[in-house]
Amino acid sequence: MAFNFWEYEKTALKNGFSRIAGIDEAGRGPLAGPVVSAAVILPDYFNIPGVNDSKKLTPKKRHQLYPKIYMQATAIGIGIIDSIEIDRINILRAALLSMAFAVANLFAKPDYLLIDGTFKIPFDLPQRPVIKGDQRSISIAAASIIAKETRDRLMKRYDEDYPQFEFARHKGYPTKAHREAIKKFGLCPIHRRTFKGVKEFCQ
């Protein structure tokens, strides 16, 4: 863990805020499935070794950290936007909207938001986008793990409905196996029909 992993949270506290939520999303790049965001408020005593950017962790490590974060977090909110809405409003707007939904679903309401990326979200609270925030903020890192693990579990559930696509294996990302399955079986209801690699197969 970086020595300054609490830097953004501590700065917000010094500026008079008391309940800081870190927000991140998972699933902007896949050809299928929802985009999922998590908003996480951590207590000052939060201490779970290994919390980091979810992309730097193995699936096994994320799976192990997921319940531990839930046990220690002050509050966790989840926001989900499905593939139909992604196609309707585009993936960037869908990702930002899912982040706003995650904040709205927090049981304990925050007074300041730290958001992974370069954009603010459509929510009326003071907020700060943080580039590579999942590597620089403990709250955003925790949110990245929750978002990724939540989305992976959803995709494993979709695998039961559409086993021919092996969503449990690649989570909807544009792997060679996924592209070949689309060519062979066509599309299923959770494919994103505006995405390159999918729209070519729309009737």
Mean pLDDT of the chain: 96
* pLDDT of residue 2 exceeding 50: no
Homologous superfamily of domain range 7-201: Ribonuclease H-like superfamily/Ribonuclease H (3.30.420.10)
CA distances from 84 to 23, 87, 88, 94, 127 (A): 23, 5, 6, 10, 28
Distance CA(105)–CA(89), nearest Å, equals 21
* pLDDT for the residue 1: 42
> Mind listing the pLDDT tens digit for each residue in 4-62?
799 999 999 999 999 999 999 999 999 999 999 999 999 999 999 999 878 899 999 99
Instruction: Return the pLDDT at 52.
Output: 86
Q: In the structure, what pLDDT confidence band is assigned to residue 138 with cuts at 50, 70 and 90?
A: very high
Q: What residue segments make up the domains of the chain, in order of their start? A: 7-201
Contact partners, residue 120, CB within 8 Å, separation at least 6: 127, 129
pLDDT at 203 over 60: yes
The sheet with strand 35-41 has its strands ordered as 75-81, 35-41, 20-26, 112-116, 127-130
Percent of the residues in the chain that have a pLDDT greater than 70, as a whole number:
99
Provide, rounded to the nearest whole percent, the portion of the chain with pLDDT above 90: 95
